[in-house]
Amino acid sequence: MGSSISAAEVRKFEEMAKNWWDPEGSSGPLHSMNPVRTKFTRDALCLCFGRDTMSAHPLQGLSILDVGCGGGLFSEALARLGASVTGIDASEGAIFVAREHARADPVIQGRTAYRNITAEQAVDKGLQFDAVVASEVIEHVENVPEFCRSLAALTRDSGAVVISTINRTAASYAVAIVGAEYLAQVVPKGTHDWSRFITPDELARLMGRVGLQQVSISGMFLNPVTGRWSLMNDTAVNYISYFRKNNTTPSQIEHI
């Protein structure tokens, strides 16, 4: 299978690897986003697999692939919910950071595994999981249709895929590029390319073509005063979507 990876994007995040676990550094927005993307994903997977969201470990027994896992922020959050998480990333530096951080907690280390491979390489190895997550990744890949095909191939039948990303709107340019990179400088300049952003409709169509139908979608909003994220109906800037493999139809889309 071909590669969807952008070498330039990999180099960019390789340089940021050492700051993955610094909430005050370049990965700060991901730290603050982690609770809401984790909540959405927990609820989506509980819906998909018939689990109780109020359970202490609602994802116990599920295998999850975290594509573009970076330093392991999302992987560790899902592991704390009981899942067995495999994190993959094209950045060798990020994988080193993820492994080292997991070693500090025996429970997390026992529930996580990290590999320096791409999604396409994982497909070539025949890997499949109950659920696949790709958070803040798809806007950085070179070949989006190829990436979507890989996500589908890595997901077991009736399994789930959760993607979070940034919409391509005037609002997202103002917030994610001008605001975050140039005014507030909460992320390094050049982190995002607005032309790479994908709209919810575009993503739903691409995923539908590979057998992944959208079940739910929610916007994600960062309060500039409190610095906290929340889920909302407005998807004009950040959004997160849950897809199910070979199970639902587009008419079933709802906001959660």
Nearest to 45 by CA among 240, 195, 183: 240
Environment class of residue 77 by beta-carbon count within 10 Å: exposed (0-12), middle (13-18) or buried (19+)?
buried
Pairing of strands 212-222, 238-245: antiparallel
Binding-site sequence positions for Mg(2+) = 136, 139-140
Question: Quick one: the chain helix, strand, coil %, rounded to 5?
Answer: 40, 25, 35
Phi and psi at 101, nearest 5°, equal: -65, -40
Binding-site sequence positions = 37, 68, 89, 135-136, 139-140
Cβ–Cβ < 8 Å for 23, 30: no
Binding-site sequence positions for S-adenosyl-L-methionine = 37, 68, 89, 135
Nearest to 92 by CA among 112, 111, 118, 110: 118
Separation between Cα atoms, residue 150 and residue 35, nearest integer Å: 26
